[in-house]
Amino acid sequence: MTAAGVRNPPGVLRPRSARFRTAAGLRLAWLYLASRRVPTALVALAACGALLRAALEWHWIAGPDPGAQQVPLLLEAGTASVIAVTAYSPFGEPERITGRWLPWLRVGTAVALTGAAVGMLAAGAAAAQLPDGNLAVLRNVAGTTGIGLLAAGVIGGALAWIGPMAYVVASEYALLARWTTPWVWPVRPPHDRGAAICAALVFTAGVAVAAARGARDPG
Protein backbone atom coordinates (compact mmCIF):
# COMPACT_ATOMS: atom_id res chain seq x y z
CA MET A 1 0.00 0.00 0.00
CA THR A 2 1.48 3.29 -1.00
CA ALA A 3 0.38 6.89 -0.73
CA ALA A 4 0.77 7.51 -4.42
CA GLY A 5 -2.92 7.19 -5.03
CA VAL A 6 -3.71 9.67 -2.28
CA ARG A 7 -1.26 12.29 -3.54
CA ASN A 8 -2.52 11.94 -7.05
CA PRO A 9 -6.14 10.87 -6.90
CA PRO A 10 -7.42 9.97 -10.31
CA GLY A 11 -9.29 12.79 -11.98
CA VAL A 12 -8.09 15.69 -9.83
CA LEU A 13 -5.21 16.67 -12.08
CA ARG A 14 -7.25 16.37 -15.21
CA PRO A 15 -7.44 19.74 -16.93
CA ARG A 16 -10.75 21.52 -16.47
CA SER A 17 -12.93 21.93 -19.47
CA ALA A 18 -13.35 25.42 -20.92
CA ARG A 19 -17.03 25.27 -20.07
CA PHE A 20 -16.28 24.48 -16.45
CA ARG A 21 -13.77 27.32 -16.23
CA THR A 22 -16.23 29.77 -17.76
CA ALA A 23 -18.93 28.69 -15.35
CA ALA A 24 -16.53 28.97 -12.42
CA GLY A 25 -15.37 32.38 -13.57
CA LEU A 26 -18.91 33.62 -13.93
CA ARG A 27 -19.79 32.26 -10.53
CA LEU A 28 -16.74 33.95 -9.04
CA ALA A 29 -17.68 37.24 -10.67
CA TRP A 30 -21.27 36.90 -9.51
CA LEU A 31 -20.23 36.12 -5.95
CA TYR A 32 -17.92 39.13 -6.00
CA LEU A 33 -20.66 41.40 -7.34
CA ALA A 34 -23.15 40.07 -4.80
CA SER A 35 -20.68 40.58 -1.93
CA ARG A 36 -20.30 44.21 -3.03
CA ARG A 37 -24.07 44.67 -3.36
CA VAL A 38 -23.65 45.66 -6.99
CA PRO A 39 -27.28 44.80 -7.92
CA THR A 40 -28.49 47.21 -5.24
CA ALA A 41 -25.98 49.76 -6.45
CA LEU A 42 -27.44 49.51 -9.94
CA VAL A 43 -30.89 50.20 -8.51
CA ALA A 44 -29.50 53.24 -6.66
CA LEU A 45 -27.85 54.49 -9.86
CA ALA A 46 -31.12 54.04 -11.72
CA ALA A 47 -32.82 56.05 -8.96
CA CYS A 48 -30.31 58.87 -9.50
CA GLY A 49 -31.12 58.81 -13.22
CA ALA A 50 -34.83 58.93 -12.45
CA LEU A 51 -34.27 61.82 -10.07
CA LEU A 52 -32.42 63.70 -12.79
CA ARG A 53 -35.34 63.03 -15.10
CA ALA A 54 -37.72 64.42 -12.47
CA ALA A 55 -35.50 67.46 -11.95
CA LEU A 56 -35.58 68.21 -15.66
CA GLU A 57 -39.29 67.54 -15.88
CA TRP A 58 -40.11 69.85 -12.97
CA HIS A 59 -37.62 72.53 -14.02
CA TRP A 60 -35.35 72.34 -11.00
CA ILE A 61 -32.55 72.83 -13.51
CA ALA A 62 -33.44 76.17 -15.00
CA GLY A 63 -32.22 79.67 -15.16
CA PRO A 64 -28.79 81.19 -15.52
CA ASP A 65 -27.80 81.14 -11.85
CA PRO A 66 -25.06 78.79 -10.67
CA GLY A 67 -27.51 77.13 -8.32
CA ALA A 68 -29.28 75.59 -11.30
CA GLN A 69 -26.13 73.67 -12.19
CA GLN A 70 -26.02 72.10 -8.75
CA VAL A 71 -28.70 69.46 -9.36
CA PRO A 72 -26.76 67.48 -12.00
CA LEU A 73 -23.60 67.96 -9.97
CA LEU A 74 -25.22 66.58 -6.83
CA LEU A 75 -26.66 63.59 -8.66
CA GLU A 76 -23.28 62.89 -10.23
CA ALA A 77 -21.78 62.98 -6.74
CA GLY A 78 -24.57 60.67 -5.59
CA THR A 79 -23.69 58.07 -8.20
CA ALA A 80 -20.00 58.40 -7.34
CA SER A 81 -20.82 57.87 -3.65
CA VAL A 82 -22.80 54.74 -4.47
CA ILE A 83 -19.94 53.35 -6.57
CA ALA A 84 -17.43 54.18 -3.85
CA VAL A 85 -19.27 52.28 -1.13
CA THR A 86 -19.42 49.16 -3.30
CA ALA A 87 -15.68 48.92 -2.61
CA TYR A 88 -16.47 47.84 0.94
CA SER A 89 -15.62 44.19 1.47
CA PRO A 90 -17.25 42.14 4.21
CA PHE A 91 -14.52 39.49 4.07
CA GLY A 92 -11.31 41.37 4.68
CA GLU A 93 -8.06 39.47 5.05
CA PRO A 94 -9.17 35.99 3.89
CA GLU A 95 -10.41 37.42 0.60
CA ARG A 96 -7.30 39.52 0.09
CA ILE A 97 -5.06 36.48 0.60
CA THR A 98 -6.96 33.99 -1.53
CA GLY A 99 -8.52 36.22 -4.17
CA ARG A 100 -6.15 35.90 -7.13
CA TRP A 101 -8.56 37.67 -9.47
CA LEU A 102 -9.49 40.32 -6.96
CA PRO A 103 -7.66 43.26 -8.62
CA TRP A 104 -9.32 42.52 -11.96
CA LEU A 105 -12.71 42.16 -10.35
CA ARG A 106 -12.25 45.46 -8.55
CA VAL A 107 -11.18 47.28 -11.71
CA GLY A 108 -13.96 45.72 -13.76
CA THR A 109 -16.61 46.56 -11.20
CA ALA A 110 -15.48 50.15 -10.75
CA VAL A 111 -15.25 50.82 -14.49
CA ALA A 112 -18.51 49.04 -15.30
CA LEU A 113 -20.40 50.84 -12.54
CA THR A 114 -18.99 54.18 -13.67
CA GLY A 115 -20.15 53.43 -17.21
CA ALA A 116 -23.55 52.41 -15.88
CA ALA A 117 -23.80 55.62 -13.86
CA VAL A 118 -22.99 57.76 -16.87
CA GLY A 119 -25.45 55.79 -18.97
CA MET A 120 -28.26 56.09 -16.47
CA LEU A 121 -27.72 59.80 -15.95
CA ALA A 122 -27.59 60.29 -19.72
CA ALA A 123 -30.78 58.27 -20.05
CA GLY A 124 -32.36 60.42 -17.35
CA ALA A 125 -31.37 63.52 -19.30
CA ALA A 126 -32.57 62.11 -22.62
CA ALA A 127 -35.14 64.24 -24.43
CA ALA A 128 -34.05 67.20 -22.36
CA GLN A 129 -31.07 69.47 -22.34
CA LEU A 130 -28.59 69.37 -19.50
CA PRO A 131 -26.80 72.71 -19.01
CA ASP A 132 -23.40 71.16 -19.86
CA GLY A 133 -24.40 68.09 -21.85
CA ASN A 134 -23.48 64.43 -21.47
CA LEU A 135 -19.76 65.00 -21.93
CA ALA A 136 -19.70 66.91 -18.66
CA VAL A 137 -21.64 64.08 -17.02
CA LEU A 138 -18.97 61.60 -18.12
CA ARG A 139 -16.15 63.82 -16.87
CA ASN A 140 -17.78 64.67 -13.57
CA VAL A 141 -18.91 61.14 -12.74
CA ALA A 142 -15.52 59.66 -13.60
CA GLY A 143 -13.56 62.25 -11.64
CA THR A 144 -15.80 62.14 -8.60
CA THR A 145 -15.80 58.33 -8.64
CA GLY A 146 -12.01 58.49 -8.62
CA ILE A 147 -12.21 60.61 -5.47
CA GLY A 148 -14.59 58.09 -3.93
CA LEU A 149 -12.29 55.16 -4.72
CA LEU A 150 -9.31 57.05 -3.31
CA ALA A 151 -11.36 57.77 -0.18
CA ALA A 152 -12.19 54.05 0.05
CA GLY A 153 -8.49 53.29 0.06
CA VAL A 154 -7.84 55.82 2.81
CA ILE A 155 -10.84 55.75 5.15
CA GLY A 156 -12.58 52.52 4.16
CA GLY A 157 -15.25 51.52 1.71
CA ALA A 158 -18.24 52.02 3.96
CA LEU A 159 -17.38 55.66 4.62
CA ALA A 160 -15.98 56.34 1.15
CA TRP A 161 -19.04 58.44 0.28
CA ILE A 162 -17.54 61.23 2.37
CA GLY A 163 -14.94 61.88 -0.36
CA PRO A 164 -17.41 62.72 -3.16
CA MET A 165 -19.60 64.61 -0.69
CA ALA A 166 -16.73 66.79 0.47
CA TYR A 167 -15.70 67.40 -3.13
CA VAL A 168 -19.19 68.41 -4.18
CA VAL A 169 -19.46 70.84 -1.27
CA ALA A 170 -16.18 72.41 -2.39
CA SER A 171 -17.43 72.45 -5.99
CA GLU A 172 -20.63 74.24 -4.99
CA TYR A 173 -18.57 76.96 -3.38
CA ALA A 174 -16.33 77.07 -6.46
CA LEU A 175 -19.38 77.43 -8.70
CA LEU A 176 -20.68 80.38 -6.71
CA ALA A 177 -17.23 81.94 -6.34
CA ARG A 178 -16.53 81.39 -10.07
CA TRP A 179 -13.30 79.50 -9.63
CA THR A 180 -11.54 78.38 -12.79
CA THR A 181 -8.97 75.79 -11.67
CA PRO A 182 -9.27 72.55 -13.71
CA TRP A 183 -9.00 70.49 -10.52
CA VAL A 184 -12.53 71.61 -9.74
CA TRP A 185 -13.77 70.21 -13.03
CA PRO A 186 -17.50 70.79 -12.51
CA VAL A 187 -16.92 74.54 -12.84
CA ARG A 188 -15.24 74.18 -16.23
CA PRO A 189 -16.99 73.98 -19.62
CA PRO A 190 -17.63 70.45 -20.94
CA HIS A 191 -14.97 70.64 -23.66
CA ASP A 192 -12.26 71.98 -21.37
CA ARG A 193 -9.20 69.80 -21.92
CA GLY A 194 -7.49 70.63 -18.61
CA ALA A 195 -10.54 69.68 -16.57
CA ALA A 196 -10.95 66.44 -18.54
CA ILE A 197 -7.31 65.54 -17.95
CA CYS A 198 -7.59 66.25 -14.22
CA ALA A 199 -10.76 64.17 -13.91
CA ALA A 200 -9.18 61.33 -15.91
CA LEU A 201 -6.07 61.41 -13.74
CA VAL A 202 -8.09 61.23 -10.54
CA PHE A 203 -10.26 58.42 -11.93
CA THR A 204 -7.19 56.46 -12.99
CA ALA A 205 -5.58 56.97 -9.60
CA GLY A 206 -8.76 55.88 -7.86
CA VAL A 207 -9.13 52.74 -9.96
CA ALA A 208 -5.43 51.93 -9.49
CA VAL A 209 -5.68 52.25 -5.72
CA ALA A 210 -8.89 50.23 -5.71
CA ALA A 211 -7.25 47.50 -7.79
CA ALA A 212 -4.02 47.34 -5.85
CA ARG A 213 -5.29 47.74 -2.30
CA GLY A 214 -9.02 47.66 -2.33
CA ALA A 215 -10.89 49.48 0.37
CA ARG A 216 -9.24 49.95 3.73
CA ASP A 217 -11.69 47.95 5.74
CA PRO A 218 -11.20 46.13 9.04
CA GLY A 219 -10.80 42.39 9.01
Contact residues for another protein, defined by CB under 8 A: 37, 40-41, 44, 47, 51, 55, 59-60, 62, 67, 70-71, 74-75, 77-78, 81-82, 84-86, 88, 157-159, 161-162, 164-166, 168-170, 172-173, 177
Nearer to another protein, 35 or 200 (CB): 35
CB of 59 to another protein, least distance (A): 8
CB of 107 to another protein, least distance (A): 20
**H or E stretch at 75:** helix 70-85
**H or E stretch at 8:** none
Nearer to another protein, 81 or 109 (CB): 81
Helix (H, G, I), strand (E, B) or coil at 166: helix
CB of 97 to another protein, least distance (A): 22
Cα separation of 175 and 186, whole Å? 8
Nearer to another protein, 87 or 122 (CB): 87
Cα separation of 35 and 143, whole Å? 25
CB of 13 to another protein, least distance (A): 40
Helix (H, G, I), strand (E, B) or coil at 191: coil
Q: What's the one-letter identity of residue 180?
A: T
Q: Are 145 and 161 in contact (CB under 8 A)?
A: no
Nearer to another protein, 84 or 209 (CB): 84
Q: At what angle do helices 18-35 and 102-124 cross, to 10 degrees?
A: 60
Nearer to another protein, 59 or 100 (CB): 59
CB of 158 to another protein, least distance (A): 6
